[in-house]
A = this chain, B = another copy of it.
Amino acid sequence: MSDTDRPDKKPDQAAALREALNRGAYQHAQRLLQTLHPAEIAALLESTPSPEREFIWTLVPAEENGEVLLHVNDDVRNALIRHMDPAELVAATEHLDLDDLADLIDDLPRAVTRQLLQAMDQQERWRLETVLSYPAESAGGLMNPEVTTVRPNVTLDVVIRYLRLKAELPDQTEQLVIVDRYGHYVGTLPLQTLLISDPDKTVAEVMDTEVEPIPVDLPARKVAQRFADRDLLSAPVVSVDGLVIGRITIDDVVDVIRDESEHSMMSQVGLNEEEDMFAPALQSFRRRTLWLGINLVTAFIASAVVGLFEATLQQVVALAVLMPIVASMGGIAGSQTQTLIIRGLAQGRLTASNAQRFINKEIILGLLNGLAWALVTALLAFVWFGRSDLALVMGLAMVVNLLLAAASGIGVPLMMRRLSIDPALAGHVVLTTVTDVAGFFAFLGLGSLLLR
């Protein structure tokens, strides 16, 4: 999708806000902040350097504080929390949904947590502990334990009267969950169905039993996949015994999908998506050092291979001129294969039963690529340096290298997966090291054999 944006009014509001702050119109700024949603205020805070950021934070309406803290990245959240006293923090967070509070609670000072827990009744505390007992990246960590349940044997009319009596439903409730007398999952009753059906019918007559409940230990990524595949708005979560213990709503799933995509974009270059854009340079320096250090090691490995052929390079300096081309083409072709494998694995499209077909195809493709680009690069090398032996070395190296690139594009991600390392994270570094080493070795090795 193109990033050439059409004008939208939100950036204008942010600009208007900054302009109001600059000319000291704080009341006007406060009114502008009131028109923004918490996620939009969070974006504004993330895109404002300190100390303006802390100042804007004091202008944010107190009732929005909790929601805004939920939406900012970890670095910014910690900085904002440091500027709040315990009473403010308790006030900001005590009205959050339990699943949201669970996401935040690790970042709160211990005194605040203790106070929050004391203010809760027995049932709420128990529910919070339930959510906290599951890994954040699982259905249990995503779910909200507040579910409106009804029994299958009552009439719709009774359900409607029950809801009017309750006078409030959890946010984003678009279906009720049907449970038996022991709390086991039976089905769901969409509010739509409740509204349009004959009120004298029973829940059992109109309920939907198609929705499969989500096991509490399903990984978040698979929860997201299921929501997307089946166009779900919400789904009940059940324990191993089939008891309904919570529900997951699509808004949390959307966050999972967005976070995952941001995480993979950032981690490819060794960055953390929770980092503050305006962190002090020294702090960013420390964080990015590891990645540059790893890269230096891999670059030295490639250099060491070149070093093996110092004598040959001395004799035929054209090899030094052409060697970046061989390595670079291998890196690109290998990344294409690797990206397809990583996607196939992540989406479950690549399985034991079809992998061989895919691998065969990519190897044949590597050979085709090798032959085609061998011709092109050999010709260019001949035109440039006027040496047919150099052109031959170039062509042969290209065939070898592009075949090896296809093989590494397949082998590297599969090996990393076997080692339980995320291939999307470290795959690129490992792959280019392999293709660099192989490319330099093939090209300079052939050069040392065939040229003088």
Which residues from chain A sit less than 8 Å from chain B, CB to CB?
1-6, 8, 10-11, 14-15, 18, 37, 39-40, 43, 46-49, 137, 160, 163-164, 166-169, 171-174, 191-192, 194-198, 217-222, 227-231, 233, 250-251, 253-255, 257-258, 260-266, 268-271, 277-282, 284-285, 288-289, 291-292, 295-296, 298-300, 302-303, 306-307, 310, 313-314, 317-318, 320-325, 327-329, 332-333, 335-336, 339-340, 342-354, 357-358, 361-362, 364-365, 368-369, 372-373, 376-377, 380, 384, 417, 420, 422-424, 436, 440
What 14 additional pairs, Cβ within 8 angstroms, besides A49-B354, A278-B357, A281-B365?
Answer: A3-B346, A15-B351, A39-B230, A43-B348, A46-B349, A164-B195, A194-B195, A271-B336, A285-B365, A288-B369, A295-B328, A296-B377, A317-B320, A324-B327
**CB pair B336 A270 closer than 8 Å:** yes
Pairs across A and B, CB under 8 Å, 15 listed? A1-B263, A5-B222, A11-B351, A37-B229, A261-B261, A270-B332, A271-B340, A280-B361, A281-B364, A295-B329, A298-B328, A302-B328, A310-B318, A313-B321, A320-B320
Q: Contacts of A347 on B, CB cut-off 8 Å?
A: 43
Q: Contacts of A233 on B, CB cut-off 8 Å?
A: 172, 174, 233, 250
Q: How far is the CA of A336 from the CA of B333 in the complex (A)?
A: 22
**CB pair B6 A262 closer than 8 Å:** no
Q: How far is the CA of A345 from the CA of B47 in the complex (A)?
A: 11
Q: Contacts of A365 on B, CB cut-off 8 Å?
A: 281, 284-285, 288
- Known contacts being A37-B229, A269-B335, A339-B265, is A303 close to B325, with CB within 8 Å? yes
Closest to A333 in B: B292
Q: Contacts of A292 on B, CB cut-off 8 Å?
A: 329, 332-333, 369, 373
The quantity of this chain's copies bound in the complex is 2
**CB pair A49 B357 closer than 8 Å:** yes
Q: Contacts of A361 on B, CB cut-off 8 Å?
A: 278-281, 284
**CB pair B277 A302 closer than 8 Å:** no
Q: How far is the CA of A46 from the CA of B3 in the complex (A)?
A: 29
